[in-house]
Structure 1
């Protein structure tokens, strides 16, 4: 397709209505995946409204844990200001890989040939008559 459908389709990113709605809102920060976070206005309970504009597909698993806590009002300020720096042993957040080539496929799965290792003999099948 030669037409840019991004302004009209929510699954390709923010629609034109979302961009108009973000006018006057404060840009709080950006995560390592390129998602941008905004805050402004109040919800019905008086809490500040918060948004994420995804860089790429709209998939909630693409929000890192520290920004998830900010979006859900577990922390008040941007994660870089209130959370401790990541420890050296911590891995970066990774989106859900289900349905992609990087999805987890155990050794007995059909995608890896469907051949399971033989049982070791310590397994006894359940039967209703036993």
Structure 2
């Protein structure tokens, strides 16, 4: 019951009832990623702005675009014609694994000197000269 109320009154938790209804009526399920996000493509061009089939993602949990991996992002934005379920994305050996935006979480980067780490930073070295107006 709580999930139904959340989907009615919030847009940031997955998708609203209206979006689910529209995507369910107009879209075809294409695949799901490792985070549980589900991807859809329109059945026809009736929703299209530029003649291409429209594509959607329904997020698992909090709606945050950084939770979409590079392979699905490329498919959503028509960079790749085929979804990763048909033609898997080739990851180069020098590429790092995809991480969602961690800002605002306990896993966010907190460099030395940031307020989140107490605000203590190293003293300025001799190569720093403060600006003073003339």
| Counterpart for residue 65 of structure 1 | 70
* 1:21-75 Cα deviation digits (max 9, x unpaired): 2235221121221111100132032110100010110111111122111111111
Partner of 1:7: 7
Instruction: Give 2:123's aligned residue.
Output: 118
TM-score with structure 2 length normalisation?
0.83
Instruction: Tell me which protein shows more helix as a share of its residues.
Output: 2
Aligned runs of 1:33-72 on 2, under 5 Å?
33-40=35-42, 41-42=44-45, 43-72=48-77
Q: Return 5+ residue gaps in structure 1 as ranges.
A: none
* Greater Cα offset, 64-73 or 80-89: 80-89
Q: Is 1:79 the counterpart of 2:79 in the alignment?
A: no
What RMSD, in angstroms, separates the aligned Cα atoms of the two structures?
A: 1.9
Please state whether the residue corresponding to 1:101 is helix, strand or coil.
coil
User: How many pairs align?
Assistant: 128
Using the TM superposition, give the Cα deviation of residue 125 of structure 1 relative to its aligned residue in structure 2, in angstroms.
Answer: 1.2
